Copies of this chain bind each other. A is one copy, B any other.
């Protein structure tokens, strides 16, 4: 018997390994049947063009692992029975037919069946992305961050590297975040109410997972934040879309659905996503009163309240009344840099344990090193000057992009929202459908973000085309160019 094996002499995989894998795969896959005799090691070595010792070593290993056996004087054979013969008494054999199917017919869970494959469009370098909500990371003080990082990594003993029991986040970071939120957002909390998460995405996921069962009702702003909607959808929840006007979510509309047993209300009160308006005080109080009556929780996402260019932000809903029925969510991923996977939840005391347990089940803990560096960054006073600096940069970028669009579109463009944040919504009166406009902008080298309407709640907007412009990460030149390209695409 001559044995042909596919050997690839330029592969990074050693020849020994390739031969071993080929033989083992052949035995297990049924190519070499039980009891079959293999060629003598010298013969196989010659046929494969390798040294005899290579083949001998493969044979020896396969013998020691129970795939092959040597019979004195007659050669090397595929084992006819493996050590535990009783296991094989049942007659079950592994049948392999690679043609049949490439995976077993295992049913996904309801959750698994709902999950979409993420859309990852190609991203050529010349494409200007107005759909990416990252901050401008070029301005981030990397040297400072590096200095803080190196300092902590030198500490001895290196306990930052070890497992922690603080699944909800380190005490130091939770203390610093509680202080920051009390001061800057009037959030009423102590450090025990804080759960450090892997970005606000994990915070929203945990809130949904811990409160929503299949068919439970969750209300959210329409239009709203796509990823929140996707998380709620994936839990099998029913989304109740609540319209948004210039004072934010229309709480009166929410109250009309007393039959729906709404459990969670997702709201972005500081800077509504994507419309950019603030939820008025009257509506905040109304929402709080409603939530108490209805036994619902408000999921307050305060994702970019640090960036207001004309006035101070309204304080959080969470802090408006004692023991507010609010899960408050925020993140440093966006404020500092996205790959810092650190966000947080502030939860009512009664829910501290369940969120800590939920975080533990999901991924045990967030990086202790990143938590420590962020704590140092906060407690040593680096956040405020950085935010002040970025506030000016983003304010100017926003103004420049609005101006550039108005220059090209005149009265045919309307920009919605407060002077705030890292994005705005623009409405174009043009003779194109939203689909056409999106495609033309893309062809012109600008990727815009479409408005997300939860539960297909979009109303007819004949002749109106709206897109989100996430401008923060683009330079002034890029923004001017983007406006030119959009104008060329929409008006030509």
Contact = CB atoms under 8 A, between A and B. Distances in A.
Given A103-B325, A281-B82, A338-B162, A354 B209 contact: no
A87 B286 contact: yes
A339 B160 contact: yes
Interface stretch (A39-47, A131-139, A436-444, A477-485): A131-139
A165 interface: yes
A397 to B, nearest CB: 16
A98 B323 CA distance: 8
Given A281-B65, A283-B87, A295-B105, A321 B150 contact: no
Contacts of A93: 285, 289
A296 B356 contact: no
Contacts of A489: none
Interface stretch (A21-29, A409-417, A454-462): A21-29
B199 A363 contact: yes
A311 interface: yes
A339 B210 contact: no
B367 A109 contact: no
A475 to B, nearest CB: 11
A201 interface: yes
Q: How many copies does the complex hold?
A: 2
A258 interface: no
Given A281-B82, A350-B102, A473-B162, A202 B363 contact: yes
B186 A21 contact: yes
A469 interface: no
Contacts of A231: 361
A177 B28 CA distance: 25
Interface stretch (A69-77, A115-123, A383-391, A418-426): A115-123
Contacts of A338: 161-163
A352 B443 CA distance: 30
Nearest to A123: B165
A377 interface: no
A191 interface: no
Contact of A145 (B137, B153, B325, B361): B153
